[in-house]
Amino acid sequence: MIAATSVTSLVFAAISISAAATLAYLVATDTRRSRPVDGAAQFRRHLNALSDDSREHLREQIRIAREQRQGRQA
């Protein structure tokens, strides 16, 4: 009985140690949050994405798709 209890304790201890090591590794390698977010730069990127110049290729694709649809309907 005592031997079974000690084996069970060793198994749970090994699981706990491996889980703690995995967690420590994941925390140490998490580089996504190491860079501070520059709110002003993020806002400028957002505004640039909404500008007419950045959406020109989308308008071109819509025009081509519209012409293709009209070509099939005619």
Burial 33-65 (b: 16+ CB within 10 A, else e): eeeeeeeeeeeeeeeeeeeeeeeeeeeeeeeee
Contacts of 48 (CB under 8 A, 6+ apart): 54
| Per-residue pLDDT, 16 | 96
| Per-residue pLDDT, 63 | 93
Task: Please list the pLDDT of the chain residue by residue as tens digits (74 residues).
Answer: 566 678 889 999 999 999 999 999 998 888 666 566 788 888 888 888 888 888 888 889 999 999 999 987 76
Q: Is 33 left (phi over 0), alpha (psi -120 to 50) or beta?
A: alpha
Residue boundaries of the structural domains of the chain: 1-31, 42-74
